[in-house]
Structure 1
Amino acid sequence: MSEDEARRAASPPGAARRCGTEPSPGSTGTRIHVYTFIQSDSEELPILDNEMFHSIKPGLSAYADSPETAGHTVRMLLKVAKRTVPRVMWKRTPLVLRATAGLRLLTAQKARALLEQVQHVFDESPFLVPDNSVTIMNGTNEGILAWISLNFLTGHLNAQTKKTVGILDLGGGSTQITFLPKLRETIESAPVTDFVARFDIFNSTYELYTYSYLGNGLMAGRLATLGALGAEGMEWRVFKSSCLPKKFRDEWSFGGITYHVSGDPEGYTGFKLCYQEVLKVVKGVIHQPYELEGSNVFYAFSYYFDRAVDAGLIDGVYGGMLQVRDFKKRAKEVCNRTTKYPSISPFLCMDMTYITCLLKDGFGFKESTVLQLTKKVNNVEASWALGAMLDHFHNLKIH
């Protein structure tokens, strides 16, 4: 059977089936998404027929000093792609890797060495490797592509729809906010033009409020709270925090560096003290948009979802709706009883306090704001990867 016959046999009449493969390395994991689309008309939105998703920890940035190991990680993920994509379609299935904050936080030299290893693995693979198939994605695009993914999956990405959803993405190294403003003041009062992005998709032009805060992801936020972000003398310093249990002392690794961390055995612990520490990392760094309330339903995912599950606020499969005050209430409970939660993570108090502070004092959400916490929408992973694949196929000209 020829390739075209195989594709027609597996697709509805008049439709073309295409696959796209998107490895997405962040600071805390490397993931592969294999998407199968059905495209009946190039002017129309394609139909997402299937997604295969697989994740490996840690992220590529953990191999900053041994790039060959990063290549091995990508090879393992490509084995998954080979099992998923029919062999007859390998040569016409584009393979694209977009690295995120984990690599943005590395030195240019270390990041380049990692990307060269990945490119080598891609070049020896049987898939279609386009130009610029291996790059570090800028944070703004990460937010925009996540917005495209979520609005595509929720059915809001067509010319008739006036309603869209906003996105809040909390990664390890960076955090993004993206939404479609209803008021001109939101665009006009943004600090710099970097907060506004336009792109065209399916005969519509969108102008989004979007920003990516590098260094304000959950793991980078831990480091900043501990005073360890960019600090000297890692080998001998112990970084203390009142957000950690008093008797806690351990090593903790992020981005290929190991830190000695501990609670403060002489001091006090609890939510108030922890909040003061975290506030220094957020206050004055995160811009509060002119309009937030009532403009959009916000979908929050990645570490927002994971920590809400760890804290017992939502179901780990179905997610759920939470108010900002739910994060605050649980943060207080966890911080004021650190001994009760040590088995989950000694960092849970810090993480829940950081999320509360980021939402309230950072972005300026009210405590009554309802967020939709989700990992999957219509059985598809909530992330920027789907948007990246749509961008690859349709060249959205993001600017």
Structure 2
Amino acid sequence: MSRDEGPEVGRSLHLCGIPAHVLDVCQASARRRQARWPAAASARRAWLDAAQATRGPHLRRRPTSTASMFDAGSTGTRIHVFQFRMEDRGVPSLHQETFRSIQPGLSAYADHPRECSAGISELLKVAQSTVPASLWSSTPVLLRATAGLRLLPEQKAQDLLDTVIAVDEITPFLSGGDSVSILDGVDEGIGGICYRIISSSLKIPSMSVGMLDLGGGSFQITFSPQDEPPPTRTINYFSTCASKTKAPVSYLGLGLMSARLAILGGVDASPSVGGSTELVSPCLAPEYSGSWEYAEVVYTVRGQKAGEPLYEACVTRVEKFLYKKLLKVSEAADADFFSLSYFYDRVVDLGDEGTVHVSDYVNAAKRVCSGLSVSPQQSPFLCLDLVYISVLLQELGFSTDKQFKLAKTMNHVGLSWSLGAAFHHLNTLNTH
């Protein structure tokens, strides 16, 4: 999920047009936020005035727009500074991206929200050094928080957002009432736009491409259903420029770090005498004992005494955790899927990249789990993580011979929902 090297600059990448009825849905979401924050309307007017003032006659025909997007994830906060250009026939393209990330995520400051402001200010300096000063007042700065904040109690999440808003209000960039928020169900559909970017860039028929994104706090799958759509209570549908239906599905709590905590038993654990929390798991080497920190809680973790082989015991534990939590996606079995974030990272941990089969995750899990010792050269959680990924993919309905393409970037541009969300926001400003 995170790219700690930075800043990075991306090459041109084209976005498709978005149907009016899709924009209507997204703009309705924006209007709901605008009703809560009246300043948003005046911010949009200021953006339009400033944007027109900085554009010459040529740029009015082919405008350049810039946006800074914060991705506040569960394991880190990232800033993307995007510069878009309008190409022929009204098709926007991404001209440049600058990226940087910091750790930990905002949710780590849940009990001390004011402490998150230093990191936000640090990342804002990246935007200031990237965007010309003459464009600051017309460049919107946005923050969208994902699973890390959605998993927090409502008041703690709001306290963090209020801290970010306070920092946001004193920046030289354009901000409004909808500049800082938690990504909601409608906003998650924006991921379908980034999904379409991949289809367009690779010239693969849109009905044959999907994306799997395993974050720290949640897991998303986007694909093109070829039969009747699954229940709408679970999936929001968005049409693309090719009038094909996409189905973005987000599973909160099934991200790798959240799942790891639950599989280790940390969700239901209570601190013992002295305030420490000890977790015993069949997914760790029997002789292993160590510590693990998650969401500012330090856990003592150790392996379960030898009994059933480690791999089989861990599979049983993971299957129990995932029982009836996932919808089958058998209708997407033939799609060409890209695997992002931790799907990518865990394979790279083993020295592989490019493409991977479900069986590769299974075999890697067996190999790592069987070779785990008291002092492993690799992460003591790698057995658990690989078992989780392999079981997750099979529970979704993928066969062991299913192949996935591994990707972190495309044309040097990071693959994430941030690109689509930034483009959507600029489009909303232009249409109000």
1:330 is aligned to: 364
Matched, 1:95 2:134: no
Aligned mates of 1:141, 1:353 — CA distance in 2: 31
Matched, 1:21 2:68: yes
Matched, 1:45 2:83: no
State the SS of the aligned residue for 2:355: strand
Q: Deviations over 1:218-243 (max 9, x none)?
A: 01111111121143336344111121
State the SS of the aligned residue for 1:83: helix
Q: Deviations over 1:5-64 (max 9, x none)?
A: 96559x8794211111100011101111010100146x7330110111111011110111
Alignment map for 1:8-87 (pairs within 5 Å): 14-40=61-87, 44-87=90-133
1:305 is aligned to: 344
Distance 1:352 1:226, change over 3 A: same
Aligned mates of 1:30, 1:226 — CA distance in 2: 25
Distance 1:369 1:201, change over 3 A: closer
Aligned mates of 1:80, 1:72 — CA distance in 2: 13
Given that 1:149 and 1:382 are in contact with CA atoms closer than 8 Å, whether structure 2 keeps it comes out as yes
AA of the residue aligned to 2:248? T
Percentage of identical aligned residues:
38
Which residue of the other structure, out of 172, 177, 180, is the alignment partner of 1:131?
Answer: 177
Greater Cα shift, 265-274 or 13-22? 265-274
AA of the residue aligned to 1:323? H
Given that 2:238 and 2:247 are in contact with CA atoms closer than 8 Å, whether structure 1 keeps it comes out as no
Which residue of the other structure, out of 255, 258, 269, is the alignment partner of 1:220?
Answer: 258
2:191 is aligned to: 146
Which residue of the other structure, out of 263, 274, 278, is the alignment partner of 2:303?
Answer: 263
Q: Deviations over 1:102-139 (max 9, x none)?
A: 11111111101100000011101111113311111135
Matched, 1:116 2:162: yes
Which residue of the other structure, out of 368, 378, 382, is the alignment partner of 1:344?
Answer: 378
AA of the residue aligned to 1:152? I
Distance 1:282 1:5, change over 3 A: same
Q: TM-score, normalised by structure 2?
A: 0.81
Matched, 1:209 2:247: yes
Distance 1:146 1:62, change over 3 A: same
Q: Deviations over 1:310-358 (max 9, x none)?
A: 12222xxxxx111111111111100000139823311000001000000
Aligned mates of 2:139, 2:221 — CA distance in 1: 31
Distance 1:237 1:297, change over 3 A: same
State the SS of the aligned residue for 2:64: strand
Matched, 1:354 2:388: yes
Alignment map for 1:155-194 (pairs within 5 Å): 155=200, 162-163=206-207, 165-184=209-228, 187=229, 190=230, 192-194=231-233
Q: TM-score, normalised by structure 1?
A: 0.87
Distance 1:147 1:3, change over 3 A: closer
State the SS of the aligned residue for 2:173: coil
State the SS of the aligned residue for 1:285: coil
Aligned mates of 1:111, 1:88 — CA distance in 2: 34
Per-residue deviation, 1:373: 0.9
Aligned mates of 2:193, 2:287 — CA distance in 1: 45
Aligned mates of 2:253, 2:401 — CA distance in 1: 27
State the SS of the aligned residue for 1:288: coil
AA of the residue aligned to 2:359? R
Aligned mates of 1:292, 1:127 — CA distance in 2: 42
State the Cα RMSD in Å.
2.6
Q: Deviations over 1:354-379 (max 9, x none)?
A: 00000012x11111111111000111
Greater Cα shift, 126-135 or 265-274? 265-274
Aligned mates of 2:91, 2:409 — CA distance in 1: 20
Aligned mates of 2:425, 2:60 — CA distance in 1: 24
1:317 is aligned to: none
Given that 1:170 and 1:304 are in contact with CA atoms closer than 8 Å, whether structure 2 keeps it comes out as yes
Per-residue deviation, 1:162: 4.5
Per-residue deviation, 1:271: 1.2
Distance 1:140 1:223, change over 3 A: farther
AA of the residue aligned to 1:183? D
Distance 1:341 1:161, change over 3 A: farther
Aligned mates of 2:350, 2:408 — CA distance in 1: 16
Q: Deviations over 1:242-281 (max 9, x none)?
A: 2112222222122222222111245455211111111111
Greater Cα shift, 327-336 or 160-169? 160-169
Distance 1:141 1:269, change over 3 A: farther
Aligned mates of 2:134, 2:208 — CA distance in 1: 38
Distance 1:54 1:366, change over 3 A: same
Aligned mates of 2:195, 2:123 — CA distance in 1: 24
Q: Deviations over 1:55-112 (max 9, x none)?
A: 1011110111111121111111101111111111111111111100011111111101
Given that 2:288 and 2:373 are in contact with CA atoms closer than 8 Å, whether structure 1 keeps it comes out as no
Segments of 4+ moved more than 6 angstroms: 2-6
Aligned mates of 1:140, 1:303 — CA distance in 2: 24
Distance 1:13 1:139, change over 3 A: closer
Q: Which runs of 5+ in 2 are unaligned?
A: 1-49
How many pairs are equivalent?
378
Given that 1:100 and 1:139 are in contact with CA atoms closer than 8 Å, whether structure 2 keeps it comes out as no
Matched, 1:394 2:427: yes
Q: Which runs of 5+ in 1 are unaligned?
A: 315-319
State the SS of the aligned residue for 2:236: strand
Per-residue deviation, 1:210: 2.6
2:282 is aligned to: 242
Distance 1:304 1:50, change over 3 A: same
